[in-house]
Amino acid sequence: MADEGKETAYQEGNLQLGRVHDLQIKLNNLNLDLVGFNDEFERYNYLIKFDCLNTLFSEISSSCDPNEKKKASKFIKGINNFLKTNSPYREKKVNDGWGVLRQQTVLYRKDFDLLRGVLFEYELWIKSLLHKYFRRNIEGEGRPKEF
């Protein structure tokens, strides 16, 4: 067969859909416990979620217009700045009850709630882009031809 081994844009589209699907499953699982610590990645789940959202955006960024790319950049920069100055978990000296001070990691709920809200907005926005661009491709509009 002459076309054997020839890759098509359709096959790449299926691979991309698989990556997007896997990321969305991971995001849904992370949403169950955003304050949790992930031993495998040695990071808090909210940080892993942020990375997953950025990766999800990168899957569709080539389809996005300049304004959408600018908005993504603002989300990323804003969340990074927030994490540098208002991380939900911080080290705090506490008295253990016997007059001894020790370091303890403390969750600052107000900062976490703000971060969770912004991450949720970022996630909804990215999912709206996924719907916008993938739905068009599924319905056949703008579907790439074989190369």
pLDDT digits over 57-73, tens only? 999 999 999 999 999 99
Q: Is residue 4 part of a domain?
A: no
Q: Residue 112's pLDDT band (boundaries 50, 70, 90)? A: very high
Domain count, the chain: 1
Q: Is residue 119 part of a domain?
A: yes
What are the C-alpha distances in Å from 6 to residues 95, 120, 143, 146?
67, 40, 18, 9
Q: Is residue 125 part of a domain?
A: yes
Q: Is residue 146 part of a domain?
A: no
Q: Which residues pair with 105 in a beta bridge?
A: 91
**77 contacts: CB under 8 Å, gap ≥ 6:** none
For residues 3 and 52, the model is more confident at: 52
Q: Which residues pair with 92 in a beta bridge?
A: 104
Q: Is residue 110 part of a domain?
A: yes
Decide if pLDDT at 91 tops 80: yes
pLDDT tens digits for range 31-44:
999 999 999 999 99
- 93: three-class secondary structure by DSSP: strand
Range of the domain at 34: 9-138
Q: Is residue 105 part of a domain?
A: yes
